[in-house]
Amino acid sequence: MEKHARIYVAGHRGMVGSALVRKLQAEGYENLLLRTSSELDLRNQAAVAAFFADERPEYVFLAAAKVGGILANNTYRAEFLYDNLMIESNIIHSAYETGVKKLLFLGSSCIYPKMAPQPLKEEYLLSGYLEATNEPYAIAKITGIKLCEAYRSQYGCNFISAMPTNLYGPNDNYDLNGSHVLPALIRKFHEAKVNDQPTVEVWGTGSPRREFLHADDLADACFYLMQHYNGELFVNIGTGEDVTIKELAEIVKATVGFDGELRWNTEKPDGTPRKLMDVSRLHAMGWKHTTDLKDGIEHTYQDFLANEVLYVE
């Protein structure tokens, strides 16, 4: 990407999008096209088409999405499917119509079948049934991958896709009704500590295993792929390492400094038993994560403390 290139980061105020903006600016890219959801409704086809026609971005990072944890995914199934289908369809089609040089679509590790072999290899896509609680979101993300493949095949577009593992970092969502497990644990333990609560409830059994990647590492990987990768097959982005939810809870508990007990609510769903990404292809390309999980959680908690008023209002 040329330093003067017009680069559109869709979803720049979210955790992933803001990390991409930080990375691009650190690398000397200042000609960034940024729009908030109030300025540009990405679900509106006409509005997105007009934006692309007027601004003519040369490169696109498609990080905009409606996201959430198990509760949000399972509760707002129609919104998670419709909103994400519209967002990705509108952007990918407009990128084609206006001659965007390269587009990177970001999916999610939930695209893989619930009982797929571990670690998850890219070729396992569509080889089995999805996890029921987040099926609509997964279907939308699979559609995004297939759209990029189809526009590449039919029109020759250089549209690539990357599938990140579970993410965390600055600008995460700490709403307990819609957040993922790690930010939810940070908020729960912090509020329990502040309020001198004796226990913290954690969903499930604690046995599922999850992999976690810092958002800044993801942004670095995305930048690397935009510079070096032009293949059709999507690329997993992760650490290749995982922990149990119980181990994660203990790390967050120690980081926050909560002295009480954990209470596991086994009536709540565990979700997929394990989601570990096979990142051998990305490693072979020359990229590897640099943020240790404990260090990353510590930095994320410090960010939470600095922005608590914004994150929990």
Contacts of 277 (CB under 8 A, 6+ apart): 109, 119, 120, 163, 165, 211, 236, 237, 238, 239, 240
Binding site annotation covers 161? no
Bond into 57 cis (ω within 30): no
Binding site annotation covers 16? yes
C-beta atoms surrounding 7 within 10 Å: 23
Tokens representing residue 186 in the block: 């940070």
Q: Which of 36-50, 101-115, 227-241, 264-278 has the lowest mean pLDDT?
A: 264-278
- Range picked from 23-32, 66-75, 174-183, 304-313 for highest mean pLDDT: 23-32
Domain that holds residue 126: 7-173+211-241+276-291
Tokens representing residue 5 in the block: 């290139």
Whether 287 is covered by a domain: the verdict is: yes
Whether 132 is covered by a domain: the verdict is: yes
Binding site annotation covers 1? no
Binding site annotation covers 204? no
pLDDT digit string (tens) for 144-154? 999 999 999 99
Binding site annotation covers 107? yes
Q: What amino acid occupies position 149?
A: E
* Rounded mean pLDDT, 13-18: 95
What H or E segment, with its residue span, contains residue 294? helix 293-306
Whether 81 is covered by a domain: the verdict is: yes
Beta-sheet pairing, 59-62 with 7-10: parallel
Residue 140 has pLDDT above 90, yes or no: yes
Binding site annotation covers 165? yes
- Domain total for the chain? 1
DSSP 54-72: HH--SEEEE-------HHH
Binding site annotation covers 268? no
- Could you give the angle at the alpha carbon of 10 between the alpha carbons of 7 and 13, nearest 5°? 110
Buried residues in 171-208 as b, exposed as e (16+ CB within 10 A): bbbbbeebbbbbbbbbbbbbbbbeeeeeebebbbebeb
Rounded-to-integer distance, Cα 261 and Cα 32, Å:
46
pLDDT digit string (tens) for 67-83? 877 777 888 899 999 99
Whether 311 is covered by a domain: the verdict is: no
Rounded-to-integer distance, Cα 311 and Cα 46, Å:
32
Annotated catalytic sites, by residue?
Answer: 137
Whether 108 is covered by a domain: the verdict is: yes
Whether 305 is covered by a domain: the verdict is: no
Which residues pair with residue 276 across a beta bridge? none
In terms of Cα–Cα distance, which of 235, 209, 215 is closest to 17? 215
In terms of Cα–Cα distance, which of 177, 237, 243 is closest to 187? 177
* Rounded mean pLDDT, 237-250: 97
CATH code for the domain in which residue 224 is found: 3.40.50.720
**Binning pLDDT at 50, 70 and 90, where does residue 273 land?**
confident
Whether 308 is covered by a domain: the verdict is: no
* Rounded mean pLDDT, 42-56: 98
Residue 309 has pLDDT above 90, yes or no: no
Residue 179 has pLDDT above 80, yes or no: no
Whether 163 is covered by a domain: the verdict is: yes
In terms of Cα–Cα distance, which of 1, 20, 13, 11 is closest to 215? 20
Torsion of CA 127, 132, 244, 107, to 10 degrees: 60
Which residues pair with residue 57 across a beta bridge? none
**Binning pLDDT at 50, 70 and 90, where does residue 272 land?**
confident
